[in-house]
A and B are shown apart, each in its own frame.
Chain A
Amino acid sequence: MTEHVATNETILVVGGGISGMTAALEAAETGKNVVLVEKNPALGGRTSQLYRYFPKLCHPTCGLEINLRRLKGNPRVRVLTLAEVSGIEGSTGNYTVSVKVKPRYVNENCTACGECERAVETMVDDPFNYNLGQHKAAFLPNAMAYPQRFVLDPSIIGTPDADKAKAACKYGAIDLDMKEETIEVKAGAVIWATGWQPYDAAKIQPYGYGRYKNVITSVEFERLSDIHGPTGGKILRPSDGKEAKNVAFIQCAGSRDENHLRHCSRICCMASLKQTHYVREKFPDGGKSTIYYIDIRAIDRFEDFYQKVQADPTVTFIKSKVAKVTEDENGNPVCHGVDTEGYKRYTTAHDLVVLAVGMEPSVKGINIPGHIASDSSGFIEADPANGAVFGAGCATNALDVNRAVQSATAAALRAIQVVNKVAKAEA
């Protein structure tokens, strides 16, 4: 592992999603040294797992590509992947951070030729596709992965598969002796951009996620729609591989609910409105979407997006939070509830039910070393008690990409101010 010369004028960014990348680049482009720590083997975070982006329905890869180009052109950002912060000590302007780095078993020589992948036989779950599919135990995390470097799954280390991979590599890139190590990084300020995770849908018992195969989450639906996803971009339902032409979206699945997440996750109305476009795109004739909702919150300037979907004859809106989901004898998920407009009971079968799951901060549950103020949902709050640890993006709130980027820029500015002061004091 290369030495990282970091001083207390360095800014440490934790989390390499769109927010972390933005904060790192904004700071580096003003001349600061930045260490960017990402726990996955590649940067990009959850946005890289989306099929399309609202509001313009462009591919998330374009936004990512711009950032990656900026990153490649900037020697001031050091990226550590497969790395997690395990401890922070010190105070504003003078932190010492321990970072645990997991072995990748592949070094810088990798050209991403893919020979090791062909040689290896073991298959493992693919977290990039939310485990809807599997990939080889020697793999590139995703098509856009940065760094463009393969990874060996730790499960094959010590098995003949690992030796096969090593033998297949012509570039001497595979190093089976890599070990987990903990390194120390000095930093004047820390930006915490660890993002969000989908709420565990299995906890919403009446909806049957985990019990009924054809009840999936919105993040899984993104992967089903993507050509790089487990179905090659066909919306096929998990139970029998049948085309899912009649799709139900259940809003507020876990959000705005005292039994689950208290907050409105803010983007899931827009996400479902966006996903009705996927249904129409994949099934130009016969595609049908039904949105069950409490109220549609098309935040900010997105009202026009909502109105366009409302005008679409293939989309039906039903003002009702579904009470429960059951399964009929053909494996179709059936939504039960009462329509608030008229108080009529409905029992409606669909091919597939998509739960618009809420966003939960990833920081919840993990122990941010040191004391960090957070709100009742676990999002990081701006608080003087946090010293020079600043939240950015979805670690601070349920945000869309646009707002996450704004929040990251603000965090970068705060961190820059701290290290500027340190620099002045030292001069």
Chain B
Amino acid sequence: MSANTAVAEKYRNNFLKEIEEQVEMGDWVKMCMQCGVCSGSCPTNFQSAWDHPPQELFMMIRAGKREEVLTSSSMWNCTSCYNCIVRCPRKIPITHIMHGLAEYAHRIGMAPKMQATRFFSGLFWKNATHTGRVNELKLSLGLYFKDGFVQGVKNGMAMQSVALGLVKAGRLNVLELFGGHKCKDQKGIHAMLAKAYEIERVRKAAKMAG
């Protein structure tokens, strides 16, 4: 370690180190110069759901605000529009870091439980890996009923005309609710996923070990 890196190391708090090790592309966070272009370019920043634009999240990481960052819903709101990446003067892969942060918060159980994107992602994953095919009807119903039965019926009613349109166009089959179509080799798919989990686990353990 050169003298310079040794000095810099002092200022790298534990949380920044954790992000660098655990989060996809996390080692870019320290390159942010807080210019503000990503925040100003982010479409989700128009919405009230957006607590912290990417630039602010990066600053919070450097300030060691672990709890606030990992429980934040901000990174879950990223739409992957890539506006920030194309404009960032430092060419920081912001979109990937946003998803990396969300993934890490989820992995260690700190992500906000009922955050809509996270909830939907979980539902989608379960749905898709179960049969090897996405059952759109079950998926949307699952999402509608996320906030309880009453809200679910309301959501369903609001979407009624869209659903009927889809049925008419042959894009939605009501019979899907009972079983639905699936892949031929479901066992094979499950085995493949188990292997993928295994590889990922080994890789992360190796990374942690340094």
A residues near B (Cβ < 8 Å) are 206, 252, 256-260, 294, 319-324, 336-340, 343, 345
For B35, the chain A residues whose CB sits under 8 A away are 252, 294, 320-321, 340
Contact of B89 among A257, A324, A336 (CB under 8 A): A257
For B73, the chain A residues whose CB sits under 8 A away are none
A320 CB to nearest chain B CB (Å): 4
For A252, the chain B residues whose CB sits under 8 A away are 35, 89
Contact of A206 among B39, B55, B87 (CB under 8 A): B87
Whole-angstrom distance between the alpha carbons of A294 and B37 in the complex?
A: 10
Instruction: Report the nearest B residue to A323, measured CB to CB.
Output: B40
Given A343-B55, A345-B46, 20 extra CB contacts under 8 A: A206-B41, A252-B35, A256-B33, A257-B89, A259-B86, A259-B87, A259-B91, A294-B33, A294-B36, A322-B37, A323-B36, A323-B40, A324-B40, A324-B41, A337-B36, A338-B36, A338-B40, A339-B36, A345-B39, A345-B40
Whole-angstrom distance between the alpha carbons of A340 and B55 in the complex?
A: 8
Whole-angstrom distance between the alpha carbons of A416 and B33 in the complex?
A: 44
B34 is an interface residue with CB less than 8 A from chain A = yes
For B53, the chain A residues whose CB sits under 8 A away are 338, 343
B90 is an interface residue with CB less than 8 A from chain A = yes
Known: A320-B40, A321-B36. A338 touches B55 (CB 8 A): yes
B136 is an interface residue with CB less than 8 A from chain A = no
- Determine whether the beta carbon of A340 is less than 8 Å from that of B34: yes
Whole-angstrom distance between the alpha carbons of A252 and B89 in the complex?
A: 10
For B91, the chain A residues whose CB sits under 8 A away are 258-259
Contact of A320 among B36, B45, B86, B89 (CB under 8 A): B36
Q: Which of B40, B41, B91 has the most CB of A within 10 A?
A: B40
Whole-angstrom distance between the alpha carbons of A336 and B91 in the complex?
A: 20
Contact of B90 among A258, A320, A324, A338 (CB under 8 A): A258
List 3 tightest A-B contacts by C-beta distance, closest first: A323-B40, A337-B40, A338-B39
Within 8 A of A (CB), among B30-75: 33-37, 39-41, 45-46, 52-53, 55-56
For B39, the chain A residues whose CB sits under 8 A away are 323, 337-338, 343, 345
- Determine whether the beta carbon of A323 is less than 8 Å from that of B87: yes
Known: A257-B89, A323-B87. A343 touches B52 (CB 8 A): yes
For A260, the chain B residues whose CB sits under 8 A away are 89
Q: Number of contacting residues on B, CB 8 A? A: 19
- Determine whether the beta carbon of A345 is less than 8 Å from that of B89: no
Please count the residue pairs between chain A and chain B whose beta carbons lie under 8 angstroms apart in the complex: 63
Within 8 A of A (CB), among B78-112: 86-87, 89-91
- Determine whether the beta carbon of B89 is less than 8 Å from that of A256: yes
A-B contact pairs, 29 of them (CB 8 A): A206-B87, A256-B33, A256-B89, A258-B91, A259-B87, A259-B89, A259-B91, A294-B33, A294-B34, A294-B35, A320-B35, A320-B40, A321-B36, A321-B40, A321-B89, A322-B40, A323-B37, A323-B41, A336-B40, A337-B36, A337-B37, A338-B39, A340-B36, A340-B55, A343-B52, A343-B53, A343-B55, A343-B56, A345-B40
Whole-angstrom distance between the alpha carbons of A239 and B176 in the complex?
A: 61
- Determine whether the beta carbon of B89 is less than 8 Å from that of A258: yes
For B55, the chain A residues whose CB sits under 8 A away are 338, 340, 343
A114 CB to nearest chain B CB (Å): 48
Q: Which of A258, A320, A321, A324 has the most CB of B within 10 A?
A: A321
For B52, the chain A residues whose CB sits under 8 A away are 343
- Determine whether the beta carbon of B45 is less than 8 Å from that of A338: yes
B157 CB to nearest chain A CB (Å): 35
For B56, the chain A residues whose CB sits under 8 A away are 343
A407 CB to nearest chain B CB (Å): 27
Instruction: Report the nearest A residue to B36, measured CB to CB.
Output: A320
A363 CB to nearest chain B CB (Å): 24
Instruction: Report the nearest B residue to A255, measured CB to CB.
Output: B89
Instruction: Report the nearest A residue to B84, measured CB to CB.
Output: A323
Q: Which of B45, B56, B87 has the most CB of A within 10 A?
A: B87
For B33, the chain A residues whose CB sits under 8 A away are 256, 294
For A320, the chain B residues whose CB sits under 8 A away are 35-36, 40
Interface flags, B146-178, vs A, CB<8A=1, else 0 = 000000000000000000000000000000000
Whole-angstrom distance between the alpha carbons of A322 and B41 in the complex?
A: 9
A257 CB to nearest chain B CB (Å): 4
Whole-angstrom distance between the alpha carbons of A320 and B36 in the complex?
A: 5
B128 CB to nearest chain A CB (Å): 36
- Determine whether the beta carbon of A321 is less than 8 Å from that of B37: yes
For B87, the chain A residues whose CB sits under 8 A away are 206, 259, 323
